[in-house]
Amino acid sequence: GEPICECYDCYVGADCAELSPGCAADANSGDPIFMEPFWMQNAADSAVVISGWHRMSYRYADYTTMSIELEKYIRKMHSIVGNAVTEGRYLVFGIGSTQLLNAAVYALSSENSSTPSNVLASIPFYSIYKAQTMFFNSENFQFEGDTNSWQSNNSTNNMDVVEFVTSPNNPDGELKTSVLGGKTIYDHAYFWPHFTPITGPSDHDLMIFTLSKLTGHAGTRFGWAVIKDKDVYEKVLNYISVADLGISKDTQLRVLKLLKKAVEGDGKPIFEFAYNKMRDRWERLSSVFSKSTRFSIQQRHPLHCNFFNETRLPSPAYAWVKCEREEESDCGAVLEAGNIKGRSGSIFSAKDRYVRLSLIKSQDDFELLLQRLTELVSLENSGV
Ligand code: PMP
């Protein structure tokens, strides 16, 4: 007879339980939906309701009390996790951490030098650094590309640099440190216990964090900068004021509610949930790649995690896959032929022999990814 309802995208059959054979696994985007089940389990406690008359003002009373409360919870979160020093530091909120990345470039660039400051990052790096710095084209800064090639070409010893240090790195999960020794923007989007062992509190001059990869609420668009120097703080704050007169109070209220939940039990419930999920995904993924010589993924090294008080392997948000066969230099195309969508290495200014696969999407997305990878590797082992 008639089907009762339609199946979701990739599923077929009477009870929608079979995967449709041609359906591609989409591991391209870094949307952190893997945290959704935690928030479903805490649905009532994490809900926010805002009356129509409430918090209408640009600032005034609402602003001060709530934003100060939110700052308090952000500092509390850092002190529970032990991932950043926030005592005596300034905080600035941004629309996602994305907005703060350019605010930081602006704040660290020299204003009255005759030549623009050089903005750099180490390959492979997150593509927005380049896209943003070029888009917000300014007399005060310019994107200069890769730190390593700049180092070897820089005979003039020009140290007017602003270096993006992404730690852990997107795409490969490496805990990076500065290579140029000039001004730095530490992008700590992934510096949370579910992605990496927390070896100690980060203590850099300018550090940027995001709610997106902490609680998974990427759509809320909320990030914060932790800043040591008062002048830099004032410049970042000025950027935010000029750009948008501050961050949505509705957003701040939601973030406050989420963080209040997240710090409960000293963060153990949320980080155990998130870590266990990432560890399970990495165990299954590693097991598939261990049967392959055609594909490899990044090596992981155990470190002591102060938060979990245990030595653990990192469980990065992304697998950084390499196609090992000489002739397979376009790894994205190789995976695409195996019905897997990833993000090609060239997007990270690296070689297309590499592809990034996202491991932080929904469970369905991950299951499909693992199935397609298993098929690809078994093809290799059956001699095809
Ligand atoms: N930095 C890094 C390294 C990222 O991977 C991302 C998101 N993919 C961001 C910053 C920006 O995140 P958001 O604007 O959601 O805070």
Q: Pocket of ligand 1, candidates 98, 166, 207: which has the most ligand atoms within 8 Å of its Cβ, to mutate?
A: 98
Q: Which ligand 1 atom sits nearest the alpha carbon of residue 221?
A: 15
Q: Which of 259, 305, 258, 256 is nearest to 279 (CA)?
A: 305
Atom 7 in ligand 1: which residue has the minimum CA distance? 30
Q: What is the mean pLDDT of each run of 10 residues along the chain (384 residues)?
A: 65 80 90 97 95 81 77 98 98 97 97 90 98 95 94 76 98 97 97 98 98 98 98 96 91 97 98 98 98 98 98 98 98 97 98 98 96 95 68
Q: Which ligand 1 atom sits nearest the alpha carbon of residue 95?
A: 14
Residues in a beta bridge with 158: none
Q: Pocket of ligand 1, candidates 34, 126, 164: which has the most ligand atoms within 8 Å of its Cβ, to mutate?
A: 126
304/306 Cα distance (integer angstroms): 6
Structural contact between residues 311 and 305, judged by C-beta atoms closer than 8 angstroms: yes
Residue 212's H or E segment, with its range, is helix 211-214
344/368 Cα distance (integer angstroms): 19
Structure confidence at residue 60 (pLDDT) = 55
The Å distance, Cα 208 to ligand 1 centre, comes to: 10
HSE, side-chain direction, 13 A CA sphere, residue 223: 26
Phi and psi for 31 in degrees, rounded to 5?
-70, 120
Residue type, 321: V
Q: Is the ipTM of this complex over 0.95?
A: yes
Q: Which ligand 1 atom sits nearest the alpha carbon of residue 190?
A: 3
Residue type, 351: K
134/155 Cα distance (integer angstroms): 24
Q: Which of 67, 63, 71, 70 is nearest to 226 (CA)?
A: 71
Using the CB atoms, write b or e for 274-301: b if 16+ within 10 Å.
bbebbeebbeebeebbeebebbebbeee
DSSP string covering 53-95: TTT-SSSHHHHHHHHHHHHHHHHHHHHHHT-B--TT-EEEEEE
Is the CB of 30 within 6 Å of ligand 1?
yes
Q: How far is CA 225 from CA 2, 102, 129, 197, 237, in A?
A: 55, 12, 16, 21, 10
The Å distance, Cα 189 to ligand 1 centre, comes to: 6
Structure confidence at residue 264 (pLDDT) = 98
Structure confidence at residue 273 (pLDDT) = 98
Place of tokens 């297309």: 352
Q: How many CB atoms lie within 10 A of CB 1?
A: 3
Annotation: CATH topology of 11-40+268-381 = Aspartate Aminotransferase, domain 1 (3.90.1150)
Is the CB of 118 within 6 Å of ligand 1?
no
Structure confidence at residue 154 (pLDDT) = 73
CATH 3.40.640.10 matches 57-266: yes
Delimit the domains of the chain by residue range: 11-40+268-381, 57-266
Is the CB of 126 within 6 Å of ligand 1?
yes
Q: Which ligand 1 atom sits nearest the alpha carbon of residue 210?
A: 16
